[in-house]
Amino acid sequence: MRDVLRIVWQAVILGFAEMRRVYTWKTWTFGWLMRLLCQVTFYALLGSYLGDPHLMRYVLVGNTVGLACLESTIVVISLAGERAMGTLPLLAIAPAGHLPVYLGRGLQWTTTGLISSMVGWTVLPPLLGVPLPWPRAAYAIPVIVLVVISSYGYGCALAGVALRLRGVEWLVLNVAYGIVLTFGGTNVPLSFWPAPLRAVLEFLPLVHGLQAVRGILDGAPVGHVFGLIGIEALVGAGWYLVAWLSMDRLVSVGRRTGTLDYAG
């Protein structure tokens, strides 16, 4: 366990070193973070234009929690980058095994996803004139952390696709979070969509966590909220299992056929 934690820590250090290649704290704050906040504001203003402050708050909450999902899935790019650089075999021969290393490869995005979401959570509602009910809004924060974790598992699972096909990582990433943010209840309730689609949506991250967040804000019964949290955790665990199986197979097939170091 200690070894795994050490790997996780090293992965976070590596991830942030990689981020510093692109961003300084100023360009991250005034570039990337501002863009994410504008994304939430864009939908919130549309909600205000189409409806009333109630709809605006609904959309604002959905999209703010959605940021946690969006950033966590960027692990797809980090893992595909290892393929492009031909460094997958080096990670695969790590004494601790390839799984903790692979699964830790985009952990920096969970940190920034949580920060972005938290900034949106605290700053945007009062700024846009639809304040959240504190302290109840604070109780939702652990659920947002859970959304980050389950979405990261979803991203790792889909990274398996990006690792197998050449040059599709941006497609996979955008479709991955696009589906969740479009259909997962960020702008309209799930009941808006047809029943067959709703059945599929049950297996996406964010969906139940966001419902739990809305439940907390609306003062729903504790049992109901915990039920939703449990389902979100189960969905997340399912995606980690898919990621685990996918990467395990990738490495075993790659070892057998000698293709693990192909730079995709």
Contact residues for another protein, defined by CB under 8 A? 22-23, 27-28, 31-32, 34-36, 38-39, 41-43, 45-51, 55, 59, 166-168, 170-171, 174-175, 178-179, 181-183, 187-189, 192-193
Cβ(248)–Cβ(101) below 8 Å = no
**Distance of closest approach, residue 142 Cβ to another protein, in angstroms:** 27
**Distance of closest approach, residue 118 Cβ to another protein, in angstroms:** 19
Per-position b or e across 55-74, b if 16+ CB within 10 A of its CB: bbbbbbbbbbbbbbbbbbbb
Tokens of 136: 């109840």
**Distance of closest approach, residue 123 Cβ to another protein, in angstroms:** 16
**Distance of closest approach, residue 178 Cβ to another protein, in angstroms:** 4
The residue assigned the tokens 């300084």 is: 24
Cβ(235)–Cβ(207) below 8 Å = yes
**Distance of closest approach, residue 26 Cβ to another protein, in angstroms:** 10
CB of 96 or CB of 171, closer to another protein:
171
Tokens of 228: 């939703």
How far apart (Å, rounded) are the C-alpha atoms in residues 2 and 4? 5
CB of 180 or CB of 225, closer to another protein:
180
Cβ(120)–Cβ(141) below 8 Å = no
204 closest CA partner among 193, 216, 215: 193
CB of 171 or CB of 234, closer to another protein:
171
CB of 142 or CB of 178, closer to another protein:
178
**Distance of closest approach, residue 251 Cβ to another protein, in angstroms:** 24
Query: Which residues contact residue 122 at a Cβ distance below 8 angstroms, ignoring those fewer than 6 apart?
Result: none
CB of 36 or CB of 92, closer to another protein:
36
**Distance of closest approach, residue 48 Cβ to another protein, in angstroms:** 7
Q: How many CA atoms lie within 13 A of 41 on its CB side?
A: 14
CB of 5 or CB of 22, closer to another protein:
22
Helix 107-127 vs helix 2-22: angle between axes, to the nearest 10 degrees? 60
Alpha helices in the chain (DSSP H): 2-22, 25-27, 34-50, 53-72, 75-85, 88-92, 98-103, 107-127, 136-139, 141-164, 169-183, 195-201, 207-218, 222-257
